[in-house]
Amino acid sequence: MKTFKLIDFQMENKEQKIVDIPLTDGLIINKENDRNTWLIELFVEEKNQKPFEEFTENDEIPVQVIITKQENNPAFFTMKLVSQKKIDSFYSILLEGKLSKPPFSFAEQLLESLIEKGLTGSNLLSSFQERIRSQKKENR
């Protein structure tokens, strides 16, 4: 198994909208098994656990993560909720799943996410271009 620091986590909710989940801490583990499974453990404030409430253990959750360094390209996974445990005013959320290909609507979802963050004008354009370039490099 190999363990990496999780820097950024986004998930797609039931309405197929990208939701940023602010992390207190997070890890991603490549189990290196014959099923090619990965584990993600998120440690989040209680208010940031709410988006997970709409999912059951059988639901597939598309997620996008950045591993180790903010400048790394995003990695896409299809995960299932394994557990949620309340620890004081925080939650430990465990997900298990596999790497997946970027969604076809990545550009649209990215643009929507950046707009929801309040970016406009040249800030929106430069952030969008930077993330699209990162995505193209990943797909080579």
Q: What percent of the chain has pLDDT over 90?
A: 69
Residues with Cβ < 8 Å from 78, sequence gap 6 or more? 60, 61, 62, 63, 97, 98, 100
Q: Which residues pair with 86 in a beta bridge?
A: 91
Between CA 117 and CA 114 the distance in angstroms is: 5
**Mean model confidence pLDDT for the chain:** 90
What is the per-residue pLDDT for 18? 87
52 neighbors 117 (Cβ within 8 angstroms): no
Checking if the pLDDT of 81 tops 50, the result is yes
pLDDT band at 103 (very low <50, low <70, confident <90, very high): low
Residue 10 has pLDDT above 70, yes or no: yes
Q: Is the pLDDT of residue 73 over 50?
A: yes
- Please give the helix or strand (H or E) that residue 7 lies within, else none: strand 2-12
Q: What was the pLDDT predicted at 83?
A: 95
Q: What pLDDT is attached to residue 33?
A: 93
User: CA-CA distance, 124 to 111, in Å (whole number)?
Assistant: 8
Torsion of CA 48, 51, 127, 76, to 10 degrees: 110
Predicted local confidence at residue 110, as pLDDT: 83
